[in-house]
């Protein structure tokens, strides 16, 4: 079955995901995520990503704006766009997603397919994402194409590569035909904030185990503290220090599941100098003590698709 092997997300200095989706010969991978247990944290990659909500309701955040995606609805995320996915409400939520390099559909950059359909989409800052919310018409056809591409990829029937490419090509055509470029482009400030937040998120990932202050996080992107706060609140809906706390707790949760290290040692390794504060913060974010989490956590949580950050909910728009 072509469901890709799960594992943690690896990024470069700017937070770009380095995980290879598929293979160089067939650059596409599909995933089946239970985001009720394991959210898809903030990240970005050079590939396109499409998904369909199989069950429940998902909150998909893209560049500081969040979308409520219901069962049966589809979603498109353009290349290079910062995004994350969380469950909405208490109901279980499952996603079927496909991550694909544009060359699978467009071929080489000198092909008519690339120049006429892919390049205008990839270079358009007005189309970071598209929510296929209408249960009829072309949006329904787009969601159906995503689901059929996912199913073909998983089944690996003879000639499935042609079917996957055909369904994804249909999706790109539907986008090109029905989502023309808007006349008004995003502001320079919005585009700049998107790049700044990528740098700061990666800085936090690299230094969460030591002392971290607002000034240090702001300095990583050459910003003032006020600009850093504004950027975080506008793009991901929380303060930098709140994000640091959640990153530390998630790293601790991963160590609790994957090692036999003492809980106090894990807390210290993740930037908590006081055991009581570590236990209190862990309970706030995970709903139980570190010890209870280690005993009761599902084995499935040991192998998340993108790592398992706690639900840093985007700001409601």
Using H for helix, E for strand and C for coil, what is the string for 222-282? CCCHHHHHHHHHHHCCCCHHHHHHHHHHHHHHHHHHHCCCCHHHHHHHCCCCCHHHHHHHH
Mean pLDDT, the chain, rounded, equals 85
Query: Residues 81-91: what's their mean pLDDT?
Result: 88
- Residue 316 clears pLDDT 60, i.e. is over it: no
- Residue 234 clears pLDDT 90, i.e. is over it: no
Q: Are 114 and 108 in contact (CB under 8 A)?
A: yes
d(CA 214, CA 48): 33
- Residue 174 clears pLDDT 50, i.e. is over it: yes
d(CA 169, CA 141): 12
| HSE, side-chain direction, 13 A CA sphere, residue 268 | 5
Query: Residues 79-91: what's their mean pLDDT?
Result: 89
Residue 313's pLDDT band (cuts 50, 70, 90): very low
d(CA 21, CA 260): 31
Residue 1's pLDDT band (cuts 50, 70, 90): very low
Q: How is 119-146 classified by DSSP, letter by letter?
A: HHHHT-TT-SEEEE--SSHHHHHHHHHH
Tell me the per-residue pLDDT of 49-80, one tens digit each, with 9 for 90 and over.
Answer: 999 999 999 999 998 789 999 999 999 999 98
Q: Is 8 helix (H, G, I), strand (E, B) or coil?
A: coil
């Amino acid at each position: 079955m072509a469901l890709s092997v799960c594992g943690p997300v690896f990024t470069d200095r700017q937070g770009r995901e380095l995980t290879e989706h598929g293979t160089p010969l067939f650059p596409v991978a599909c995933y089946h995520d239970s985001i009720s247990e394991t959210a898809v944290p903030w990240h970005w990659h050079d590939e396109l990503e499409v998904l369909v909500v199989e069950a429940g309701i998902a909150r998909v955040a893209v560049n500081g704006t969040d979308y409520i995606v219901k069962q049966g609805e589809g979603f498109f995320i353009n290349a290079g766009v910062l995004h994350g996915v969380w469950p909405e409400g208490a109901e279980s939520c499952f996603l079927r997603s496909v991550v694909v390099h544009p060359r699978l559909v467009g071929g080489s950059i000198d092909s008519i397919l690339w120049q006429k359909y892919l390049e205008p989409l990839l270079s358009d800052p007005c189309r970071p994402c598209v929510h296929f919310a209408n249960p009829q018409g072309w949006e329904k056809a787009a969601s159906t194409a995503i689901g059929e591409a996912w199913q073909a990829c998983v089944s690996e029937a003879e000639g499935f590569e042609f079917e996957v490419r055909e369904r994804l090509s249909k999706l790109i055509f539907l986008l090109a035909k029905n989502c023309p470029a808007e006349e008004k482009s995003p502001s320079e400030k919005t585009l700049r904030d998107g790049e700044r937040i990528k740098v700061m998120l990666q800085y936090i990932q690299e230094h969460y185990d030591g002392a971290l202050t607002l000034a240090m996080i702001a300095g990583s992107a050459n910003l003032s503290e006020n600009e850093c706060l504004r950027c975080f609140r506008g793009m991901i809906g929380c303060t930098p220090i709140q994000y640091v706390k959640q990153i530390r707790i998630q790293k601790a949760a991963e160590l609790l599941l994957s090692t036999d290290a003492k809980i106090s040692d894990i807390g210290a390794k993740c930037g908590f100098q006081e055991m009581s504060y570590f236990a209190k913060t862990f309970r706030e974010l995970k709903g139980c003590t570190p010890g209870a989490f280690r005993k009761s956590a599902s084995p499935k949580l040991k192998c998340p698709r993108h790592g398992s950050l706690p639900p840093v909910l985007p700001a409601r728009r």
